[in-house]
């Protein structure tokens, strides 16, 4: 109690029902808890929607842009040969094209050229070129071409494929050869892969049987 009999300015008043009602309708200074909660939930939902939209767009973008998932022009025979000058591409060695995630090779290396045409099965014999999807059919590792054997060797579990992707029966766990992309060679010799159209690789063939090329050396690279 004050010695001078002065009442404190903010002396609490009795909370009558009328006072409570007035407080409820009174404009809250700053931001109310309810509004803060609504704003936070709204912002969270907005962020989630943005992420979903961005993810969907980035998934579809390659198709729209002609990247992996759609048609990819990889160049003519000479373009690939010049881009891989250190590798014997014209002798049938598989070369890698990152943009298409594919290994590309001549089917018949005695004819160092592509032939005009289209092949939706990806076999490529008529066009004299084949394009293999980079994923090993076992568990998806990327096999590497071996310069000694010309074969593709999967380092993960030891599957071996000849240079055109035929699986060597009994060597490694892959159940089929490497998968192939549909392809087309136009009148100017330009090779285009349809990376959205994949044909599964053929069943394995035992070494020494027709349909699989023998390795060019007794030992591989791995």
Binding site for ligand FES (CB under 6 A): 136, 138-141, 154, 156-159, 172-174
Any idea of the CA torsion for 117, 119, 122, 127, to the nearest 10 degrees?
A: -20
Based on CB atoms, which residue is closest to ligand FES, 134 or 192? 134
Distance CA 78, CA 113 (A): 8
Sign of the alpha-carbon dihedral angle for 83, 88, 92, 94: negative
Min dist CB 138 to ligand FES, Å, is 3
Pairing of strands 160-161, 152-153: antiparallel
Query: Least distance (Å) from ligand FES to the CB of residue 35?
Result: 55
71 or 101: CB nearest ligand FES: 101
Task: Output the smallest distance, CB 103 to ligand FES, in A.
Answer: 14
On whether the CB atoms of residues 127 and 117 are closer than 8 A, the answer is: yes
> How many CB atoms sit inside 10 A of residue 139's CB?
12
Cβ proximity to ligand FES: between 185 and 212 the closer is: 212
* Least distance between ligand FES and beta carbon 165 (Å): 13
Nearer to ligand FES, 106 or 152 (CB): 152
């Amino acid at each position: 109690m004050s010695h001078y009999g002065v009442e404190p300015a903010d002396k609490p008043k009795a909370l009558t029902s009328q006072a409570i009602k007035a407080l409820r309708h009174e404009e809250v200074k700053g931001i109310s808890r309810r509004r803060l909660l609504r704003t936070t939930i709204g912002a969270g939902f907005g962020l989630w929607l943005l992420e979903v939209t961005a993810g969907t767009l980035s998934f579809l973008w390659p198709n729209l842009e002609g990247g992996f998932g759609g048609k990819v022009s990889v160049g003519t025979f000479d373009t690939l040969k010049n881009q891989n000058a250190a590798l014997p591409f014209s002798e049938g060695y598989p070369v890698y094209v990152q943009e298409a995630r594919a290994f590309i090779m001549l089917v018949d290396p005695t004819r160092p050229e592509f032939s005009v045409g289209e092949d939706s099965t990806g076999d490529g014999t008529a066009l004299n070129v084949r394009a293999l999807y980079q994923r090993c059919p076992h568990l998806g590792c990327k096999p590497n071409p071996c310069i000694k054997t010309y074969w593709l060797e999967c380092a993960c579990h030891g599957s071996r494929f000849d240079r055109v992707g035929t699986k060597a029966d009994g060597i490694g766990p892959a159940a089929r050869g490497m998968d192939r992309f549909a392809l087309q060679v136009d009148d100017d010799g330009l090779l285009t892969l349809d990376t959205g159209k994949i044909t599964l690789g053929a069943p394995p063939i035992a070494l020494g049987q027709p349909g699989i090329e023998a390795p060019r050396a007794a030992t591989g690279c791995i």
